[in-house]
Amino acid sequence: MGTVAASILGVAVVGSGIYFYSAKEQTKSAVETHQVERRTFAVMLNEKGELEAKDTVNVKVEVEGRSTIVWMIDEGTAVKKGDLVARIASNEIDEKIRAEEIKVQNAKASAEAADQQFEIMLDQNASDIRKAELALTNAGIELRKYLEGDSVQMFAKKENTLRTSKIKLEQAEDVLKDSHALREKGHLSKRDYERDVLAQIEAKDAVDAADIDLRTFKTYTDPKDRTQKESDVSEAQKDLVRTKKKAVATEAKDRAQTAAKHSEHELMQERLTKLLEQRDKTELRAPADGMVVYDVNPRNWPRRAISEGEEVYERQSIIKLPNPSVMLVKVRIHESKTGLIALGQRVAIEVEGIPDIVFEGTVTKIAPLADSQGGWLNPDMKEYATEIELDSTDHELKPGVTARANILVNDVVDVLAVPIQAIYGVGEKHFAFVGRSRTDAKAVEVEVGATSDTYVEVRSGLSEGDTVLLTVDEILVAALPSDDEKSNGFEGSKPHAAKKQTVDTKKDDSKKLSKQHASG
C-alpha cells in the first residue's frame, strides 16, 4: 500500500476515534481538554465519484428519425467486435423498401425507354440531314443543268427556229414573186396564186412568232427559270441549316430528358440503397471488444438506463462498451476547493463493495471551466469535473460503481495543532478556549493554517503545552466577540445573543476552516 493510502487510513482511524470519544464525553458532565502539541498530519480532500473506464466506445443508433428498441443484449455481457448487441424495429423501413423497389423498377423502365427513344431520334435526325443534303445537291445539279444545258439548248433551238422561219419566209416571197409574174401572163391559175400568197403570209407569221418566242425566252422565261433554280439551291441550303439546327436542338432536349430519367432512376436507387443500409443498421453491433453497459436516456427523469421498448433517436448512444483495463474516477470539485487540486496529485481511492482495499491513482484532468450540472436545484452551485486515473491493478473493477477519492493536498509536518473541535469561528476570526475548566477558560484569538478532518494547524495564539477545551457550553460561545469588535482581550466581554454559537453549528464552521485554510 502506498504512502497516500497509508495516510488516508491513518486519518480515518484518528478521526473516528476522536468522534467516538467526543460523543461519549458530551454525555458526561466532565469537561474534555486537549494539550497543545506538535504533530504531523495529512490534509486531504474527500470527494465522492463514480468509476468509469478511460477508454469507452459508444454504440449509437444510426437509423434516421425515431425508432423503438425491440431487443438488447444483457447488461454486463462481455462481447467481441462485431457481436450483435441490440436490434431496432424495422417494420416501417421494410414497407418503405417495398414501395421504393417499385419506384426503382418504374424509373429503370422509363430510363431504358428514354435511351431507345434517344437512339431513334438520333437516327431520324441523321436521315433528315441526309435528305436535306441530297435536296441541296440535287438543287445545285438542276441549276447547273439549266445553266449549262437546258437554257443554252432552248436558246439555240429558238434561234434556230427563227432563222429557219426567216429562210422559209424568203423562199415563200420568191415563190410568190414568180407566181405573181406567171399570173400576170396568164400562166398560173388564181387558186395556185392564192396558195402561194397564203404560204408567204404563213411564213411571215412563223418568223414573227419565232422572233417573239426568242425574245420572250430571253426576257422572261430564261431569267425566271434561272432565278427559280437559284432559289431552289438557296432554299435547299437554308433547309439543310434548319434541319441541322433542329437536330441539335432535338438531340439536346432528348439528351436532357434521357439524363433526367437516368438521374431519377439513380435517385430512386440511392434511396433504396439508403433504406437497405438503414435496415442493416437496425442491427447494432459492437464496434470493439468490451463489456455491455446500458447508457442513460437523457430525456428520462429521474434518469434511468435505456431498456427494450423505449423510443430512441438518431445518433443517440444506447450502449457503452468500456475497456476496464484502465479505470478512472470522475469527481466534481466545488469551486471553493479548486485551488487545492493540481494535475499529478496522488489520490487514494476506496471502491464501494471492495472493503479493506485502498487503490491509488493520479489526478490527470481538471476541467478548465466550471459547469452547473443540476443548476436548477442550486443555481449557485459550480463544480469542476475532475478525472483521477487509477494505477494498474489485478482487481476486477466495473464502471458505474461508487468510489471515494481521497486527494492528498499537503503533508503538514511538525506543527502546533489542536483537534478541530477546539476552534470556534466568528466571521473571519477564530478562537480557542484556554483553560482546564469552563469556569477559568479564556477565549484566545488564534491564526489557523492547514486543516484536516481532525486537526487544525495553529500558527499563532497558542503555545506548546497549553490546555484547550474541546467541549464548551453556550454561555462561553455567546461570550465570543463579534467580528467588528476591536479588542484583543476578551475577559469581561459582554455576551450577545445574536452571536450565540452552539456545538452543532460549530461543525459547519469546522468545514469552513477546511475550505479556507487547507492550502496553508
DSSP-assigned states of every residue in 76-121: T-EE-TT-EEEEE--HHHHHHHHHHHHHHHHHHHHHHHHHHHHHHH
Reduce the DSSP state of residue 498 to 3 states and report it.
helix
Backbone φ and ψ of 289, nearest 5°: -65, 150
- CA nearest to 431, candidates 499, 340, 498: 499
Set of cell numbers at residue 131? 435528305
Q: Are the C-beta atoms of residues 31 and 246 closer than 8 Å to each other?
A: no
Same-domain status, 261 and 287: no
Q: Is the dihedral of CA 480, 486, 487, 493 positive or negative?
A: negative
pLDDT value of residue 20: 32
β-strands 33-35, 442-451 pairing: unpaired
Report the domain count for the chain. 2
Spacing of C-alpha 356 from chain mean position = 48
Assess if residue 131 is contained within a domain: yes
Which CATH number is 72's domain given?
Answer: 2.40.50
For residue 251, CA distances in Å to 130, 248, 258, 490 come to: 16, 5, 10, 110
Residue with cell 491509488: 360
Same-domain status, 85 and 188: no
Residue with cell 450483435: 84
Assess if residue 485 is contained within a domain: no
DSSP state of 466: -
Alpha-helical runs (H) found in 61-218: 91-145, 151-185, 190-216
Same-domain status, 173 and 293: no
Q: Report the alpha-carbon distance of residue 232 to residue 238 in Å, rounded.
A: 10
Reduce the DSSP state of residue 358 to 3 states and report it.
strand
Q: How many CB atoms lie within 10 A of CB 144?
A: 12
Same-domain status, 242 and 305: no
For residue 505, CA distances in Å to 3, 274, 425 come to: 34, 66, 10
Same-domain status, 286 and 274: no
DSSP state of 306: -
Same-domain status, 216 and 290: no
* Domain around 307: 62-89+282-315
Assess if residue 512 is contained within a domain: no
Same-domain status, 145 and 165: yes
pLDDT value of residue 360: 93
- CA nearest to 445, candidates 498, 405, 388, 487: 487
pLDDT value of residue 487: 40
For residue 196, CA distances in Å to 161, 168, 175, 202 come to: 21, 12, 7, 10
> Element (H or E) spanning 15, and its range?
helix 3-25
Q: Report the alpha-carbon distance of residue 161 to residue 155 in Å, rounded.
A: 10
Residue with cell 476578551: 490
Q: Are the C-beta atoms of residues 37 and 458 closer than 8 Å to each other?
A: no
> Element (H or E) spanning 326, and its range?
strand 317-334
- CA nearest to 407, candidates 127, 89, 102, 49: 49
Q: Report the alpha-carbon distance of residue 273 to residue 97 in Å, rounded.
A: 9
Assess if residue 75 is contained within a domain: yes
Q: Report the alpha-carbon distance of residue 341 to residue 322 in Å, rounded.
A: 27
Set of cell numbers at residue 95? 414497407
Same-domain status, 131 and 176: yes
Q: Where are the beta strands (DSSP E) in 2-65?
A: 33-35, 37-60
Same-domain status, 106 and 179: yes
Q: Are the C-beta atoms of residues 55 and 327 closer than 8 Å to each other?
A: no
Same-domain status, 310 and 208: no
Q: Are the C-beta atoms of residues 211 and 162 closer than 8 Å to each other?
A: yes
Assess if residue 375 is contained within a domain: no
pTM over 0.85? The answer is no
For residue 350, CA distances in Å to 4, 7, 175, 394, 484 come to: 12, 13, 159, 15, 44
pLDDT value of residue 498: 29
Assess if residue 300 is contained within a domain: yes
Which CATH number is 210's domain given?
Answer: 1.10.287
pLDDT value of residue 372: 64
Q: How many CB atoms lie within 10 A of CB 230?
A: 15
pLDDT (tens place) for every residue of the chain, 520 residues total: 454 444 443 333 333 333 333 333 343 446 789 999 999 988 888 899 999 888 889 999 999 888 999 999 999 898 999 999 999 998 888 999 999 999 999 999 999 999 999 999 999 999 999 999 999 999 999 999 989 888 889 989 988 999 999 999 899 888 888 888 888 888 888 888 889 889 989 989 999 998 998 899 889 988 998 999 899 999 999 999 999 999 999 999 999 999 999 999 999 999 999 999 999 999 999 999 888 989 887 666 666 788 898 899 999 999 999 887 889 999 998 887 888 889 998 999 999 999 889 999 999 999 998 876 555 556 667 889 999 999 988 888 888 899 999 988 888 899 999 999 999 988 889 999 999 888 889 999 999 988 887 899 999 999 999 999 998 888 888 888 875 544 443 333 333 322 333 333 333 443 444 433 333 3
Q: Are the C-beta atoms of residues 403 and 8 closer than 8 Å to each other?
A: no
pLDDT value of residue 300: 63
Same-domain status, 109 and 84: no
- Number of H helices and E strands in the chain, helices first, is 7, 19
Q: Report the alpha-carbon distance of residue 214 to residue 219 in Å, rounded.
A: 8
Angle between helices 190-216 and 151-185 (to 10 degrees): 160
Set of cell numbers at residue 70? 425491440
Task: Identify the domain boundary among 227, 251, 278.
Answer: 278
Residue with cell 438521374: 263
Q: How many CB atoms lie within 10 A of CB 343?
A: 10
Residue with cell 489526478: 363
Assess if residue 179 is contained within a domain: yes
For residue 372, CA distances in Å to 50, 334, 335 come to: 18, 10, 11
Same-domain status, 103 and 198: yes
Q: Are the C-beta atoms of residues 232 and 71 closer than 8 Å to each other?
A: no
Assess if residue 51 is contained within a domain: no
Q: Are the C-beta atoms of residues 424 and 459 closer than 8 Å to each other?
A: no
